[in-house]
Amino acid sequence: MKILYGIQTTGNGHLTRAKEVISILKKRAEVDVVLSGPDDNKISLNHPVKKHYQGLTFFYTKKGKIHWIKTLFKNNFFKLLIDIFHCPVASYDLIINDFEPVTAWSCYLKNKKCVALSNQYALFSDKGPKLKKRFHTTLKMLRYFAPVSHGYGLHFKRFDDTIFLPIIRKKIRKLNVNDLGYFLVYLPSYGKEAIQNVLVTFPKTNWVVFSPEVKTSQLENNIQWEPINENTFLKSIASCKGVVTAAGFSTLSEALYLKKPLLTIPISSQIEQAYNAAMISEMGGKVLKRFTVKQRKQIQKWIENPKVIPAELEQRNYEVVDRILLDYIKSLLNLEQVRA
């Protein structure tokens, strides 16, 4: 069996999950990998990449919002169409898609089945958290970002038959967890200055901040600034007292798995982050609309009493992969029966 695995590279979560999925798929089939999105990601897949497409990328302001003008004008839609047309999906038995538009649209236009494996797919279940009405149109549009035949979602609870628990990478599972008293901050859509303006108002609290704007490790009073680095991040999240982060699925999942208290600030108008934040709030976590000095009192309350969110995320990673492959084989058998 030949499998094409399309992966979105915006953020780190899709790639960290893909490393685990690829390691399982390779034991069961021949796997080719294509990526689309930013090419400056620091996460290595430890697997050859057949093609890295430009794809579609969301751009953000320094204050944690989607920059719609940049998103519209910095994406090359003509190149996207060419890539979709030339993507060789017909050469594969099965296409698995992690919110990746090039392979998804190529399958759609060439009448080829494409199977989703992503946290975004969980949004389409009517059994999950209910989003505000202002997101309903966006949710409909989201279906067309990376259209699929059917799929399997990932989330913090199994609220539907095709929803699985997060795929937690082995490096996280092997960490020795403790508490050294500092708080980890990972808000990549916020600029360094915007983060610093808030943290300096808590001079008695120690912070470790990971930012794409930071190039080398540096200590400024009670703030330790770190560049994006997987190994450093793993050590820091294992030993922190709590995590301040956007509502990206992978970071939230890993913090929940490690029993780290969460302060969550979803990116404004980003539907998937709004969904994740809604579920974190339902589970008892602290969610803020913005990370600014105006929220100082709420942040202070959380610092003084950070609570672990009860969540059981134990799941063998191969379960969802085997479900995808078994369902694919069943579909082939059913097709043969129909033909007979």
CATH number, domain containing residue 151:
3.40.50.2000
Length of the chain in terms of residues written? 340
Does 324 share its domain with 252?
no
- Structural domain including 293 reads 170-304
Residue 14 belongs to a domain:
yes
| 267 and 238 within one domain | yes
Give the C-alpha separation, 208 to 200, whole Å: 13
Structure tokens belonging to residue 188: 């990549």
Locate 171 and state its tokens: 């490096």
Tell me the angle at which helices 318-339 and 13-25 cross, rounded to the nearest 10 degrees: 60
User: Is the Cα torsion angle 7, 13, 16, 20 positive or negative in sign?
Assistant: negative
119 and 206, same domain (yes or no): no
- Same structural domain, 196 and 155: no
Q: Are 210 and 186 in contact (CB under 8 A)?
A: yes
- On whether both 95 and 48 belong to a single domain, the answer is yes
Tell me if 238 is assigned to some domain.
yes
How far is the C-alpha of 1 from the C-alpha of 325, rounded, in Å?
10
- Let me know whether 44 and 112 are in one domain: yes
- What local confidence, expressed as pLDDT, does residue 58 receive? 67
pLDDT of residue 340: 53
Distance CA(91)–CA(304), nearest Å, equals 57
pLDDT at 315: 82
- State whether 259 and 331 are in the same domain: no
Domain assignment present for residue 204? The answer is: yes
What sign for the dihedral angle of Cα 202, 208, 211, 214? positive
| Whole-number Å distance between alpha carbons of 233 and 36 | 24
143 shares a domain with 118: yes
CA dihedral 279, 274, 258, 242 (to 10 degrees): -110
> 224 forms bridges with which residues in the sheet?
208, 219
Residue 220: its pLDDT value, please?
96
In a domain, 95, yes or no: yes
Q: CB count, 10 Å around CB of 234?
A: 16
Q: Read off the pLDDT of residues 299-313 as tens digits, 9 standing for 90 and up.
A: 999 999 999 999 888
The answer to the question of residue 43 being in a domain is yes
Same domain, 88 and 225: no
Q: Is residue 28 part of a domain?
A: yes
Enumerate residue ranges in the chain where pLDDT < 50. Answer: none
Using DSSP's 3-state secondary structure scheme, residue 61 falls into coil
Quote the pLDDT of residue 115. Answer: 97
What's the total number of domains in the chain?
Answer: 2
Nearest by Cα to 279 from 167, 172, 125, 142: 125
Give me the amino acid identity at 224: Q
Same domain, 285 and 323: no
- pLDDT at site 337: 64
What are the tens digits of pLDDT across the range 185-220?
999 989 999 999 999 999 999 999 999 999 999 999
- Quote the CA–CA distance of 212 and 40 in Å, as a whole number: 10
Which candidate, 310, 297, 192, 185, places its Cα nearest to that of 243?
Answer: 185
Same domain, 100 and 241: no
How far apart are alpha carbons 179 and 27 in whole angstroms? 37
310: in domain: no
Q: List, in sequence order, the alpha helices (H) in the chain.
A: 13-25, 68-74, 77-86, 101-109, 136-142, 170-173, 192-199, 230-239, 249-257, 271-282, 296-304, 318-339
Does residue 161 share a domain with residue 70? yes
Q: 210 - beta bridge partners?
A: 186, 226
309 in a structural domain: no
- Please say whether the dihedral angle defined by the alpha carbons of residues 288, 291, 294 and 298, taken in this order, is positive or negative: positive
Q: CA-CA distance, 235 to 188, in Å (whole number)?
A: 18
Distance, CA of 162 to CA of 151 (rounded, Å): 7
Using alpha carbons, select from 152, 165, 166 the residue that is nearest to residue 123. Answer: 152
Q: Helix H segments across 34-146? A: 68-74, 77-86, 101-109, 136-142
